Every structure is written in C-alpha cells, then in structure tokens.
A and B are shown apart, each in its own frame.
Chain A
Amino acid sequence: MLKKLKPLSLLLFLALPLMLAGCSTPEVLDPKGPVASQQSDLIILSIIFMLTIVAVVFVLLTIILVKYRERKDHDKYSPELHGSMLLETIWTIIPIIIVVILAVPTVRTIYSLEEAPQPKTAEAANEDPLVVHATSINWKWVFTYPDEDIETVNYLHIPIHRPVEFKLTSADSMAALWIPSLGGQKYNMAGMQTTLYLQADHVGTYDGRNANFTGEGFNEQRFKVYADEEADYQQWVEEVQNSAPELTQYEYDNLLIPGVYDGTAEFNGTHLQWIDHSKNADYTLEAWDRLGYEPKNPHAKDKSQNILPEDEIPYYQQDNTVDNSDEDMDSEEHAHAGHE
C-alpha cells in the first residue's frame, strides 16, 4: 500500500516547506525595486510552468504505478508495445514549445537588465544614474562615490527612485555584489570592471553581501544598504563630506590586508586617486609588500602578522600613479549632468 502512496507523499513534501515558508515571503520574491521585480516576475512565471510539468509527471507516474503493478490477472500486459510515433512527437513538441515560451521573456529581461531601469516620472528622467564604485576586498566592501568624492566601508546610502550604476571590481579574489531585495548579483573581478544597475523604490534598509566564496572571512563580507529619500540622501552626503576624515594611501593599503572589517567607516576622498583595481590588478600585492604582509599557511602554528607602521613606509619613493584620465572624463560628464 505504502508503495502506491510514494508519489503522493512526495507531493506532501512539496507542500511542507511551502507552508513553513508561508510565514514570510522569501527575499527574492519580495522585490523593493524595478530590477528585482523584473526578476521576481520571471521567476514566478517559470515556477508556474514548472509546477505544471511536475504535476503532469507525478500524476502520470501514480496512475501507471497503480494500474500496471503486478497482479494475479495481467490481461492489460502488452509487452509488444514499445513505441508510438504520436506520443513521442507530443512529448518532443510540448517541451520545445515550453522552452520557447520561457526563452522569450528570459532574453528580453537579460537585455533589459543591461540598461538602467526606465524612470517612472518625467523629473527622474533627467537624472543620470548615481555612479557608485563597489570594490570587493578580502573581506570587506569599499563603496566609492566619485562625483561626491567620498568613500564608505561596509555600508552605502542610495536615493530611492534613481538608478544606481554600480561599477564592480575587486582588489583580490572574485566576489559578487548581491542585494537580493534590489536585484541579482554580478561578479567583482580584479583587473576588470562589470556594471550592475540596481534601484530601490522603497525607503528601507536592505542586506547586501558578497555571494561568491572568497575564503576565510567570506561569511562576514556583508553590508547594509540604506535607501533614503533624495533629500535625506543629500544630507548624508554632506555630513560625510563635512565630517569624515581624509582617506590616506596608508589607510587604504591597510584595508587591502585580508581581514574582516569590524563595523563601518567613511572617508573624504576616494582611493581612485591612487588606484583603480579594474585597471591594475597588481596593486594589492604591491601594497602587501610595502606593508610587509605575507600570506601564511592557514595551518601555521604562528598566526601573527607584522604590518609596518606608516612612518616606516617610503610611500613617495614608489611609483603608484595610475592613469586615471578615463575616470576624470567620466566624473566631469556626471558633474555636468548633475547641474542640468
């Protein structure tokens, strides 16, 4: 008896976590911006199709197992039946149709996510996306606002209803910037720059993190996103500009030493004045050298590390200048746009 109930019991398992999860909508299906909503819509569309397929197979399997199980009289047994052009055609054509139906919105969304979300209001239409450089460092996040000339560690503020153009790169391992409530992730890679558009439409605090494994401190490479009203956002920017300390190269180089950064920080000035990791991947290891840092076998008994103090580092003897001319042009453009 139990045997017959197997597919049914599986259905029960399907339902169980659904009920458990029913208490709260999963983050990905509770979008707080246009990018996440497009993805959530696509996911829900696919779930509907997939549940239909699952249901068809489960029902068919149950019927076949019940009807054609071995019994005393096997008058339904027809061993000579081993093919049917019609049936085979049906179950080749239907999956093709489903794939086509799913491919269309998929491709459309893929293309749409490469662009900044369409503004909803005429006022917003005049605004360029807010540019934020998100740099992953083992195991912390540095957010750079080139136009505002400020930099934060492990948190960021963004205005709502305005697309944010994240310029992603990494100082070391490959990471992935992911803010599930606002949209899907993209990789941060050293020596390369990727672009990710996200936007928040609701004021709130969202969880962001590195989603791609980067080693020991990976767990704690998390950050908070504060989505504010435009005015509040501007106020925050000014506060940072007025009160945050100046970022020094020594301080920045210290951030490049692998480690978990407790808490958050903000600075005036950005690391782009010395280094753009998307153009120069060697910088991090050079900074390690300057500071006297050497990676150690994780099973070494002596885990201590020596980091040289600032006054012992002959900074200005080294040539760390990077060609930032492209960057400058970018920021001029944005500054110009901002005045309109």
Chain B
Amino acid sequence: MDLKWNEFIITGDPLILGAQISILLGGIAVVAALTYFKKWSWLWKEWLTSVDHKKLGIMYILSALLMLFRGGIDGLMIRTQLAKPGMEFLDPQHYNEVFSTHGVIMILFMAMPFLIGLINYIVPLQIGARDVAFPYLNNLSFWTFFVGMALFNISFIIGGSPDAGWTGYTPLATNEFSPGPGQNYYLLAIQIAGIGTLMTGINFFVTILKMRTKGMTLMKMSMFTWTSLITMLIIIFAFPVLTVALAMQTFDRLFGSVLFTLQGDGNPMLWVNLFWVWGHPEVYIVILPAFGIFSEIISTFARKQLFAYKAMVVSIVTISVLSFLVWVHHFFTMGNSAEANSFFSITTMAISIPTGVKIFNWLFTMYRGRITFTTPMLWSLAFIPNFVIGGVTGVMLAMAAADYQYHNTYFLVSHFHYVLISGTVFACFAGLIYWYPKMFGHKLNEKIGKWAFWIFVIGFNVCFFPQYFLGLDGMPRRISTYLPEDGWTGLNMISTIGAFMMGLAFLIFVYNIYYSWRYSPREKTGDAWGLGRNLEWATTSSIPPHYNFAVLPEVTGLDPYWDMKEKGLDQQKNTDYKPIHMPSNSSTPAIMSALMGMAAFGLVFQWYWVGIVGAVGIFITMIVRSFDYNDGYYVSVEEIKETEAKANK
C-alpha cells in the first residue's frame, strides 16, 4: 500500500482532532494515575494476568461499557447528521465510516463482550464451580477480544475506518471500491476478536457440561446457564464460518485472490451468504443470554419459579436450530427462486413460535406472584412490550414478498434496533444492575437507576418508533442526507431527540456507578436482594472469594438456593474444608494477543515485515506456553478458614 507519510494519521477533521486530543489526554491521565499511586504491578498481577473468571468478567464488562460509549457517540453522530435535510455535519465518506463502525462496535465489541462478561462472572457460580474448565484459555479469549477491539478502534485516527458497512459486502469492500486500510482493519480486528469468541464458546460449553456441582443435572440448571450453554453451541458452529469468510476476503484484499471480486469470475454473492450464515446465528448469540437474564430477574422479583421451565428449554433449543436455517432472509431481494424465498420466509416466521411461547411464559411467571419493581425488574418488564414490537415487525419482514418493500429501509433499521436494544441492551443493563452487588459488594442506587431507566426507555421509543414510518415512506438506510421534498424531516427530528435522551440516560447510568461507589451501603450477605434463587447468591460473602465456594454446594432441586432456603439448609454451616486446587495466573495470553495485534496492524498497512515479526512472536509465546508446567496451586485450609471468617463477620 503506497500510503504517504502524511496520510498515516488522519488529519483535517475537527471531530477527529477532538477525539485524538481527548484520547491522548485520557491516556496520559491513566498512565500518570497508575504511576502516581504505584498501581502498575497491582494492575498486572491482580487483573491483567488473572485467570479468575470473575475478574475477567468485570474486565469484559468494563470494555463493553467503554464500547457502548464509543458506539453510542457514533449513533449520536448519525442521528445529528440526519436530524434535518441537507445537514453538513458529516460528509458522506465520514458518515459511511461512522455507521460502519457503529454497527461493528455495537454487535461485536459491545453486545457480545457485555454478555460474555456476565456469563463469565455468573455461570461458574450458578453451576457451583470454582472456575471455568480452561482458565488460561479464558484469559486468552479476553485478550484477543481486547486487542481486536483496540485495533478496530484506532482505525479512525490512524489510516481511516472501514466504510463498507458492518456487513462488509463485496464487491464494495474489495480493493477497487474500498481502497485504503479501512476494510483491512475490519477484517483483521474481527478475525482476532472472533478467535477469542470461538475459544470462549468451547470453554464455556465444556465448563457447563463438565463442571456442574453435585446434584446439578442439566434440567436443574438455571435458565441463564441454559441459554449460555446453547449460545456457546451456536458460537462453536457459527464462528468458524466467519473466520473462514474473513480470511477469504483478507486474501482478496492483501494477496490478490479473486474469491469475492468483480474480476476473474469472483463471486461476491458468496460473501453475502457466508456472512449471514454466521450473521444470523450471531443475532441469537446476543439474544439468547439476554433471554436467560430476563428469566432470572423476572422469576426472582415475582418470587416464583420460572413458568414452564421445560418449555423454555425446548424453545431455546428450537430457536438455536432454526437460527441456522434462516440466513437467506437477509437478502430475499437477491433474485432467489420463489421456492427458496418461500422456504426461508416460513422458517423465519417459525422462529416467532418458540419466541412467542417464551413471552407468554415470562408473563405467566408473574401470574399470582409478588412483583416488586426494582430497577433490574423494570428493565426486564420494559423488555416484554418493546421486544414484542420488534418481534412482530420481524414477522412482517419475514414475509418475503412484503420484504421487497421493507428491505434496506428504516423499517428494517427500526426492527433490529427494537430487538437488539430492548433485548440485548436492556438485558445488559438489567443483568449488570441485578448482579452488581455480586461483583462490587454494593447495589447501584435505585432512585438514580430509575431515572436512567425511564429516560432511556422513553428515549428509545421516541428514537426508533418513528423510523418504522420513515421506512414505509421510502427512506433507505445508510443514506447520509435527504432532501426537504422527501418529507422525512419531522420524524427524523423526533428520532434524533430520542437518541439524545438515550445518551443522557447512559450518562446518568455512569454517574450512578460513581455515586453508588461513594454512597451505597455495603452488602453484608451473599444474597443481596434477599430473593436469590440460584447458586450465585449462595456464596458466603457478597463478592465471592476467588475460589467461589469453600465447600461446593449440593443441589436438591430447581432454583437450588431458594430450595435450600425453603428447606432451611444453611450450606455455610458446612465447614469441612479441604485444600482447594486453583489455577495460576499467566502473562503469556496478554503478550501473545499483543503480538497478534502487532501482526494484524502490520497487515492492515501491508507492512509485511511487521506481520512476519508478529507472527513469529506468536509462535514463540505458544512454545513458551507449551513448556509451562505450572498446573496451579492449593489454597490451604487455614486460608479458607480465615477468608470465610472474614466473610461471615
């Protein structure tokens, strides 16, 4: 790539200059603070090299919140540009980069890590395990995700961001139509993060199957664990497709192959198919854990066991199978045969059946319950009506003949924001608030939390509901501006106001984290809400010790902790401690991932020597790792006694 030296750092745009300055100042502030408070070694030893699933979970969630901020800023920039016809806030090129990064960041670097973070923290606790099956791999997963995320995020200040949409459709994404390093960033950053996700999939699949505590049969697992298990299964099947597809497009762009290109009989449509063979299951990867979170919260705050537990399990399994049979509905308009479109229409509509079953089961979980309206419950309750709106418009989109009119329009944009925000984002907020005392030892302030909730949910509807009508009125997605005579001005303005309300709510939410850290009372027991049903609440202290359970709990029924409380069993009375085997921290994953980042950065700019050095480095770290004979350490009985005594104070 013949990049001129003055084109390496993006200059000349005041918005980007502002971001560059704030990143620089923020970076200096973090480095200075860590140095001043002498926290470097603490950060490295306690966190960055940690294999503790709980710490990794928190690091995932912090990264995801950062990305929610970044992706949210992208979203606000999009909405500002579209507020009025003929806006010149962003030029078309810049707009294209912004919506492309918005999509990639929100799906791959916000929704997924947020949920994986919650799964990391909660699932091992819920199955009564001390850590995951492969703790080292878990740390490596985090670091590959983090490096992929970092690589993707620097694109807008170094070299230029991808601008072919989050779908990266060929031939638009090939060298001829997307010259420059942008699309290379997309391919390599997602590739690295994707490898991490695949490892997470394998790790948690094995963890859930093999590491359940005594008595925890599959049909006694919490719904969140069930959805996580199925999600991991989908990841294992879907992500290899993405890995291969990304590698193929990378070969096209870097090494001159003609797989998806215009020239040489390339087949651009193959990319579209491969992308969605991964892309549609991906949607369920980010929605199923959300279903699990809502199931937990609704059942907890209605004080009732989940209604029709078996039907819930059957429906998520059905959804996971169907999720691989619907990918063509993303391009009904490709000129497929009537037979193909009919088939995929029907399979897509069929997904609404198990999903509808779940909705009614949630409703009837609350039937004859005692519903308390805590903040996590409010987020979960708001999910139901909003998700139903998103769901029914999904059925409308599934009707291929009608989809020819909705496709590529704001109707579609509104539909997937309705399902992804009211499904995934609401679940992330709900789950974080619900399990916050488990992670940090204190609750988030309820009053401030409710303000954030109401402003967000109202803003969300104000932002996205009008977009259904914009779509029906012929407004295509991804246009950077429109004309006054198109007649879309009023609804766009309303939509933009809603977007800023969501931004405000996010700020209130973040303020709440600070406020609660300062002022919230600290939790004294493991069961912060007093209504806990699953094993994560059965720990002795509010924040579980690094080995989670001094003595592994025994499960006697569904909702095991509730069951224990009902039967008056106090598992903390069991003090028959034995030394606990725990895994040791490791610094190779961080180094290996950094080298992956270096190799990828070299490839982005086609500086092959950097790529080669990075790749050699990766192999060296792998060799180092394979000679690592450290297989963990034992926590002594004295240490357990000491820790447990402190917890019960």
Contact = CB atoms under 8 A, between A and B. Distances in A.
Interface residues of A toward B: which range? Answer: 35 or more
A112 B342 CA distance: 12
B490 interface: yes
B177 A299 contact: no
B349 interface: yes
Contacts of A219: 92, 479-482
A332 interface: no
A149 to B, nearest CB: 26
A43 B92 contact: no
A112 B405 CA distance: 15
A46 B341 contact: no
A68 B407 CA distance: 41
Contacts of B309: 82-83
B244 interface: no
Given A28-B474, A53-B388, A185-B404, A46 B395 contact: yes
Interface stretch (B133-141, B368-376, B501-509, B619-627): B368-376
Nearest to A79: B304
Given A26-B472, A65-B371, A184 B333 contact: yes
Contacts of A111: 338, 342
Contacts of A168: 335
A168 B333 CA distance: 12
Interface string B272-309: 10000000000000000000000000000011111111
Contact of B177 (A21, A43, A107, A138): A138
B322 interface: no
Nearest to B467: A17
Contacts of B486: 207
Given A211-B476, A282-B262, A174 B368 contact: no
Given A103-B349, A219-B481, A68 B368 contact: yes
Nearest to B3: A297
A303 B175 CA distance: 17
Interface string A168-210: 1000111010101001111101111011000000000001010
B472 A282 contact: no
Contact of B405 (A6, A183, A298): A183
A92 B160 contact: no
B160 A298 contact: yes
Contacts of A195: 335
B308 A174 contact: no
A214 B165 CA distance: 9
B491 A174 contact: no
Contact of A185 (B171, B356, B407, B461): B407
Contact of A64 (B92, B331, B363, B400): B363
Contact of A24 (B373, B396, B401, B487): B487
B81 to A, nearest CB: 11
Given A38-B401, A88-B357, A46 B407 contact: no
A173 B389 CA distance: 34
A297 B159 CA distance: 9
A194 B334 contact: yes
B345 A79 contact: no
A28 B405 contact: yes
A39 B402 contact: yes
B476 to A, nearest CB: 5
A299 to B, nearest CB: 4
B385 A10 contact: yes
Nearest to A87: B364
Given A185-B404, A299-B10, A68 B371 contact: yes
Interface in B308-328: 308-311
Contacts of A174: 169, 171-172, 268-269, 272
Contacts of B305: 79, 82
Residue from A7, A54, A110, A299 whose CB has the most chain B CB atoms within 10 Å: A299
A112 B92 CA distance: 38
A146 to B, nearest CB: 20
B400 A110 contact: yes
A339 interface: no
A284 B474 CA distance: 30
Contacts of A68: 302, 366-371
Interface in B440-488: 454, 458, 461-462, 465-466, 468-469, 471-474, 476-482, 486-487
B168 to A, nearest CB: 11
Nearest to A194: B335
B346 interface: yes
A42 B399 contact: yes
Contacts of A69: 370-373
A60 B7 CA distance: 59
Contact of B469 (A2, A21, A50): A21
B199 to A, nearest CB: 33
Contact of B172 (A53, A54, A215, A285): A215
A111 B346 CA distance: 14
B345 A215 contact: no
Given A27-B474, A43-B396, A68-B371, A109 B401 contact: yes
B408 A211 contact: yes
Given A103-B345, A189-B268, A301 B7 contact: yes
A295 interface: yes
B265 interface: yes
Interface string A2-43: 110011011001101110110010111100000010111011
B180 interface: yes
Contact of B342 (A21, A107, A209): A107
A60 B363 contact: yes
Contact of A99 (B169, B182, B349, B472): B349
Interface string B595-623: 00000000000000000000000000000
A50 B395 contact: yes
Nearest to B179: A295
B268 to A, nearest CB: 7
B350 interface: yes
Contact of A28 (B179, B268, B381, B473): B473
Given A47-B396, A77-B368, A99-B353, A58 B385 contact: yes
A17 B410 CA distance: 14
A297 B371 contact: no
B609 to A, nearest CB: 21
B179, B309, B392, B399: most-surrounded residue (chain A CB, <10 A) = B399
Contacts of A54: 385, 388-389, 392
B265 A191 contact: yes
Nearest to B173: A173
B165 A213 contact: yes
A179 to B, nearest CB: 9
B474 A207 contact: yes
Nearest to B483: A222
Contact of B363 (A16, A46, A61, A82): A61
Contacts of B331: 187
A340 interface: no
A57 B363 contact: yes
Contacts of B556: none
B393 interface: yes
B96 interface: yes
B474 A176 contact: no
Contacts of B74: none
B82 to A, nearest CB: 11
B384 A61 contact: yes
Given A10-B385, A65-B381, A110-B401, A81 B169 contact: no
Q: Please give me the 3 A-B residue pairs with the lowest Cβ-Cβ distance, nearest first.
A: A184-B404, A297-B180, A194-B335
29 contacts: A7-B385, A17-B465, A26-B474, A39-B404, A50-B392, A53-B356, A68-B369, A70-B372, A77-B369, A81-B367, A82-B306, A83-B309, A91-B360, A92-B353, A92-B357, A106-B342, A106-B401, A111-B342, A172-B177, A173-B171, A184-B333, A184-B402, A187-B335, A207-B474, A215-B164, A218-B478, A258-B177, A298-B179, A299-B10
Given A6-B381, A53-B388, A219-B481, 11 more contacts: A9-B458, A61-B385, A68-B302, A68-B366, A82-B306, A92-B357, A110-B341, A172-B171, A211-B407, A216-B96, A282-B264
